[in-house]
């Protein structure tokens, strides 16, 4: 089992977090101003009390994964819902229990916040991650619909 610890992300981690997001297939910057605005978005995310960003550190030095979380309120529930927009483990470190460790930390945070459930979307093509989520106890409970406006 890899020597991995989970901690809150800090501003210093922002460039590596952006690198992980590009690995996930998220948009890459087209120009320098995009880099600045992406950095600002991550910084705001870290500072937002309704959001949380955790990183997985290998051997106390290298960031090898991250998970982002948002606390959402619903109209018909007092308890919050935890939504996970991003979960990524670097390719060569996958299959070593790191994704599960990040989810375990997420569950601990959701429990602390008395959330009634955790929800996430996973693209149709991500068959492997669907199996991962099922394996660690998530159920496929809905279909997700999107309408692109750009």
Ligand X SMILES: CC(C)(COP(=O)(O)OP(=O)(O)OC[C@H]1O[C@@H](n2cnc3c(N)ncnc32)[C@H](O)[C@@H]1OP(=O)(O)O)[C@@H](O)C(=O)NCCC(=O)NCCS
x-or-dash pattern for ligand X, window 16-55, by CB under 6 A?
Answer: --------x-------------------------------
Nearer of residues 76 and 140 to ligand X, judged by Cβ: 140
| CB proximity list for 97: less than 8 A, separation 6 or greater | 1, 2, 4
Number of residues that bind ligand X (CB under 6 A): 19
Closest CB 24 distance from ligand X, rounded Å: 5
Q: Does 2 bind ligand X (CB under 6 A)?
A: no
Is there binding between residue 62 and ligand X (CB under 6 A)? no
Subset of residues 98 to 137 that bind ligand X, contact rule: CB under 6 A: 98-100, 122, 126, 128-129, 131-132, 135-136
Give the shortest CB-28-to-ligand X separation in angstroms: 16
Neighbouring-strand partners of residue 84: 120
When the beta carbons of 42 and 103 are compared against ligand X, the nearer one is 103
Residues near ligand X (CB under 6 A) are: 24, 87-89, 94-100, 122, 126, 128-129, 131-132, 135-136
């Amino acid at each position: 089992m890899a020597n991995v610890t989970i901690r809150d992300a800090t501003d210093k981690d922002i460039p590596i977090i952006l690198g992980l997001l590009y690995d996930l297939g998220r948009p890459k910057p087209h120009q320098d101003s995009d880099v600045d605005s992406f950095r600002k978005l991550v910084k705001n995310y870290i500072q937002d009390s309704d959001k949380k960003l955790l990183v997985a550190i290998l051997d106390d030095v290298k960031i090898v994964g991250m998970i982002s979380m948002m606390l959402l309120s619903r109209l018909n529930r007092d308890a919050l819902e935890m939504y996970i927009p991003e979960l990524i483990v670097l390719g060569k470190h996958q299959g070593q229990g790191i994704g599960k460790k990040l989810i375990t930390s997420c569950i601990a945070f959701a429990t602390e916040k008395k959330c009634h459930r955790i929800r996430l979307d996973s693209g149709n093509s991500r068959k492997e991650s669907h199996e991962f989520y099922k394996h660690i106890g998530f159920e496929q409970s809905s279909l997700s619909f999107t309408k692109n406006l750009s």
